[in-house]
Amino acid sequence: MITAPQNNDYKPGTWKGLLIGKRQRRSASFTCPNGHVCSLSKYEILADGSVHPSVICSMDGCGFHEFITLEGWAAFPPAPPLEEASEGQKTEKQLL
């Protein structure tokens, strides 16, 4: 088990937070100890930062395969609401 600190410079053994798509879904990238950047968008990241299933580096010949925990994941900002309506207004989706 590896506990990876957050770092936005892609240093080996660290993670970087990402917001993906229109809904700004929280995800992350992880840089394996060998310096290869791996997307965690297809992994489940629990509230405590643990990533499931175990992470396998996608770089041919790397061999990195570990369970990891993203240190500080709980503090990573949640996605902003997709739609916000001021009081008394309805969004297009609310009208349908």
Look at residue 19 in the predicted model and tell me its pLDDT.
Answer: 84
Are the beta carbons of 55 and 67 closer than 8 angstroms? yes
pLDDT in tens, 3-16: 999 998 999 999 99
CA 19 – CA 12 distance, rounded (Å) = 21
pLDDT in tens, 38-96: 999 999 999 999 999 999 999 999 999 999 999 999 988 765 555 554 444 444 443 33
Q: Give the N- to C-terminal CA distance of the chain in Å, as an integer.
A: 48
- Give the CA distances from residue 12 to residues 2, 69, 90, in Å, rounded to whole numbers and listed in that order: 12, 14, 47
Report, in angstroms and rounded to the nearest whole number, the Rg of the chain calculated over CA atoms.
17
